Amino acid sequence: RKSVLNIKIVLTGLLVLSGLINLFLALYTVKRIRTKGAVAFIGLMICIMVYSLGYAYELHNVDIAGIKTALRIEYLGISFLAPLWLIIALQYTERNRILTPSVYALLFTIPLVTLVLHYTNDMHNLFYKDLSVDNSGPFSVVSITGGIWYYTNLAYMHLAGLTAIVLYLLWIFKNPGVYRKQGSIMIAAAISPIAGNGFFQAGLSPYGMDIIPFSLTISGILFAIALFRYRWLDLVPVARDKIIESMEDGVLVLDAEGRIVDSN
């Protein structure tokens, strides 16, 4: 029992640390609220924080009622991860024109339906066909049999994540210097939860745990590197191709420390 408690303490500590990292990044970004991608990034950080803290609560529940409550908390964050991640990628890679009000509505339709169906699942079982407690490991975890909307939401999340990765890949091949480094970090941040979910869905996660919140901790660290090392919200591309590349004179762009961050 003592070893199980120690494992739970360590895992909970990691999840709380993840939540604090994301809260800090959200608060830091508030100062740059007018930068493109900032609002969606703040929303993403808050959603990851809610997911992480909700899962920390889930790990300390041993009955199905408590686990259901924890899942409801988690899905306040999980439901909106996909559209926010994609919106950030679209805004950063200068595809803002795509984001019309109708597109925003379309992007958030599945998340809103997901939240409603999750909260009302006992009435229709469209999200979960069955929820039970698995006590075969050192501590209790939830065992899920997904319904049709569970897999619909899963497909949407993966599609949004992969689309964001493709957008960043196209961007880094097109842009030099610091923008390429920023894009590469954002790709790695998107790959981490997709890989974690893949392991979880394949039944390869330790003790049957949901390892996605832990993979999102890695994403949070990568976001911090992008923000503080490569100034992701301070050095955003502004119609680079149209402005810099069209100039006849040679141009070097330096940051505050005299490092070259762009050139034509």
For the stretch 89-130, pLDDT in tens is 999 888 888 999 999 999 999 999 999 999 999 999 999 999
The pLDDT value given to residue 6: 74
Q: Which two tokens stand for residue 23?
A: 């809260």
Distances (CA, A) of 198 to 33, 70, 108, 109, 207: 33, 22, 23, 24, 15
Strand partners, 91: none
pLDDT in tens, 163-204: 999 999 998 888 777 778 888 999 999 999 999 999 998 888
- Note the pLDDT of residue 259: 64
Q: Quick check: helix, strand or coil at residue 131?
A: strand
Lowest mean pLDDT among 21-30, 42-51, 174-183, 215-224: 174-183
pTM, 2 dp: 0.86
Q: Residue 222 pLDDT more than 70?
A: yes
